[in-house]
Structure 1
Amino acid sequence: MRPTNRRCIAAGFAAGLLTTAVLATAPPAAAGCIYGGPVLGKCDGPVQADGNWERCVTVAQYVPSGLSSHLIPVRRCEVMGPARPPVDPSFADPPGHIDG
């Protein structure tokens, strides 16, 4: 095997290791979210300097359509925080920030 081929193989191996390391240290896809239960999902954005954050809740909405029907996801967002109780009770659980 020529030295040039060995360098290419070593570079490819190093790139593969680097990619694996980056993927292994990445945060999980569900960070800051809760899925299931009475809603499809509840996700919190980052906490701002004033202590507030945005929470988005996704629910399934029934839509009649002729002789059949279907469910569509509907997403609503609301700002929450220590001094801002949620207006809609479905946003209140859990009362604190979802950290994942």
Structure 2
Amino acid sequence: MVVEKKVFVHLYRNLIRTSKQFPYSFREFSLRRIRDAFREGRNETDPVKVQKNFEKAQETLQLIQRQTIINKMYTKGNLVVENKGPKENVDSALKKAH
């Protein structure tokens, strides 16, 4: 079975979307690994290797989905680098730390 490009694109988007549910450090790591893996396999023409890459990406998506569910069960507060509010929010977070 030859995997179509649009199926790979859909899988890639699902991986990215699901990875964005991770906490900051895991999120950045997983996004980088996903992008690197897809760039590496982008020009692959061997149907067997393409199928293996697709299956591995599907397994990775399932793993990330399970892990994000587990992470949601044991949530902690956001890191300072994750705050997207005004500068005052960062300043108040720093004052609380001291």
- The TM-score normalised by the length of structure 2 is 0.31
Structure whose residues are more often helix by fraction: 2
Larger Cα-atom Rg:
1
Which structure is richer in relative contact order (CA contacts within 8 A, separation 6 or more)? Answer: 2
Structure whose residues are more often strand by fraction: 1
- The TM-score normalised by the length of structure 1 is 0.30
